[in-house]
A and B are shown apart, each in its own frame.
Chain A
Amino acid sequence: MLSQAKTHESLTGKLLLSTALVAVTVGYGWWQHNQMSRQQAAAIAAMQVRAAPAPAQPQAQSQAMAAAAPQTATPATDANVAQSAAPGESAAPAPRGSSNPAAKSTALAMAAPSPNSAPAAPAAQPKTPGETVLLPATPPAPIPPLALTGMDAIRAFIPTEGVSPPLPPVTSTPDPGATPPIPAGTHLEDGDYESDKVTFEWGDLRTRILVTGGKITTVQIMSYPDHRSQSLYLIQLADPILTSEVIKSQQSKVDVVSSATNTSIAFQDAIAGAIIKATR
């Protein structure tokens, strides 16, 4: 890149330019940190406002929250909300299929829609039969990372495996006439089924289905690759489309989402595994 030296080489210029670049970078980092802190505070405040009347009106819980724990109708308490809202806690692993009410409530609180979960919000609403889902999807707005300080920030900087919380469950209405691809004479037994771990290039993926009246009514991605931010981006991109397509078609073999091919194929395998578990 560099070749012959010219007369206008300047040590002061080098120092000034390098310092300016560092200063701009630090300034941008500071600004971004502040932006994220504000968004995080707003999200926590919104969750607390929504969760506050929950103990008095347990029947008013959202459909998604009810679907996340059909066996345990634990109302969201302040403690549970605090558990999900505390920045350092959100990275804690959520036990898979745990019967611990507190742990389930944590997952419930995370499943509650928040302003930050823009990509999942449209899919969480039931779609009318026959409504078409366009592929490829609009790229989702990235969920800003938590604003952490001290040791939490250091811990969060080190990538960890499989600690991201489950994605919000998606509940929808199956298309009329859609039937699960199971052998004749068998049926899907009502209940909650979690697939085995499906390993693919970028990590592991596990899904959960809720069968009601012999049909898949709720699909949730329980664990997914989260080592790299690109993996998180792709799962946010693909999740709303794939889950709603499975419910509509009652099939594991749904269209692959553009740009998230590997994730889509792993998702199909995981759903197929859960359907096999539900077949009686």
Chain B
Amino acid sequence: MLFRRILTYRLALYYLAAILIAALGLSAAELVHQSILNLAFSAIVSLCVCLGVNWAFAYVFGADSNWESVAISAIIITLIITPVAPSDLAGVGFLGLVCAWAMASKYLIAIHKKHVFNPACFGAVLVGIGLHRDVSWWVGDNALLLPVILLGGVLILSRLRYFEMVAGFAVVVLGIAIAEGNLASIAGVVRSLSGMGIHSMFCFFGMVMLSEPRTTPLGRGQRVVYGALVGLLFSPFTHIGTYYFTPESALVCGNLFTFFANKRRMKRWMEKLGMTAARA
């Protein structure tokens, strides 16, 4: 009953906070190789930058902002960018810029007051391309964090009823991993599955990033296609020419699919464009 009364945003915030606290605990126990000081510093920087930039944009755009959404983005960015030391100015700058652009994207790239892209991924892609740096998704390759990620993920998915979307994503990603791996033996298949399923950002990405309600298609069928499309681009083997997708760029492409797949939103957007053109 209590679970049903908690708002989805708040539930997601508790979930991510639990992952962050677990990561801090494991860092303190030296079970993950990130320094606890760096992790705490990154979390504070992310939170401060996200809250500050969000407040500024909300002010000039005359909008109400949801602090829980801001905190969610800040924690996600903390969990996907390798924690930086206070003395690493380049790293701190990168972290701050990703946070700033993530918040800015909620206002600058919004159609009908709804952001088009997952903020954290958009910030990571934009700053990553501009400054030639990738985010590390360090939270992914820590099997000890997996129980927290899975348990909270199941709660979020049961609230949002997005199981079929994540299933579509999982089938495509794991299917490609198996097909590209060693098919000659059971051990080879198991290794492909464990390599992708346990020792990569697969679970975190599927449970946390993919299931953001604002950037997910409305219909069940579209959600399955969305999950499968992101899974296809997420797969390490997928590339266009010499360009290999990163998880964040895969999700941004999926967000574009969501935008174009929403006929009602597209129609309103086209009408608005037409009105603007007529005025001009």
Which residues of A are in contact with B by a Cβ distance under 8 Å? 1-10, 13-14, 16-18, 21, 24-25, 28-29, 31-32, 35, 136-139, 145, 157-161, 199-203, 227-230, 233, 258-262, 265
Contact A258 B108 (CB under 8 A): no
Check B56 for interface membership: any CB of A closer than 8 A. yes
A4 to chain B, nearest CB (A): 6
Contact A262 B244 (CB under 8 A): no
Contact A29 B130 (CB under 8 A): yes
Give the docked Cα–Cα distance between A136 and B33 (Å).
Answer: 6
Contact A8 B59 (CB under 8 A): yes
Contact A17 B57 (CB under 8 A): yes
A28 to chain B, nearest CB (A): 5
Q: How many residues of B contact A (CB 8 A)?
A: 60
**A residues near B66, Cβ cutoff 8 Å:** 1
B93 to chain A, nearest CB (A): 5
Q: Which of B114, B141, B199 touches A1 (beta carbons < 8 Å)?
A: B114
**B residues near A157, Cβ cutoff 8 Å:** 132
Give the docked Cα–Cα distance between A230 and B141 (Å).
Answer: 12
In the complex, residue of chain A having the shortest beta-carbon distance to the beta carbon of B133: A229
Q: Which of B134-158 contact A (CB under 8 A)?
A: 134-138, 141-142
B66 to chain A, nearest CB (A): 7
**B residues near A199, Cβ cutoff 8 Å:** 180
**A residues near B104, Cβ cutoff 8 Å:** 18, 21
A230 and B136 in contact, given A2-B110, A7-B62 (Cβ under 8 angstroms): yes
**B residues near A138, Cβ cutoff 8 Å:** 33
Contact B214 A261 (CB under 8 A): no
Give the docked Cα–Cα distance between A258 and B30 (Å).
Answer: 11
Contact B90 A258 (CB under 8 A): no
**A residues near B137, Cβ cutoff 8 Å:** 230
A258 and B243 in contact, given A10-B60, A28-B93, A228-B134 (Cβ under 8 angstroms): no
Contact B60 A2 (CB under 8 A): no
Which residues of B are in contact with A by a Cβ distance under 8 Å? 30, 32-34, 53, 56-57, 59-66, 69, 82, 90, 93-94, 97, 100-101, 104, 106-108, 110, 113-115, 127, 130-138, 141-142, 177, 180-181, 191-192, 195-196, 199-200, 214, 236-237, 239, 242-244, 246
Q: Which of A1, A16, A28, A203 touches B110 (beta carbons < 8 Å)?
A: A1
Contact A24 B242 (CB under 8 A): no
**B residues near A265, Cβ cutoff 8 Å:** 191, 195
In the complex, residue of chain A having the shortest beta-carbon distance to the beta carbon of B176: A201
**A residues near B141, Cβ cutoff 8 Å:** 259-261
A229 and B93 in contact, given A2-B63, A158-B242, A262-B200 (Cβ under 8 angstroms): no
**B residues near A139, Cβ cutoff 8 Å:** 33-34, 82
A197 to chain B, nearest CB (A): 13
A201 and B246 in contact, given A1-B107, A14-B60, A24-B100 (Cβ under 8 angstroms): no
Give the docked Cα–Cα distance between A229 and B243 (Å).
Answer: 13
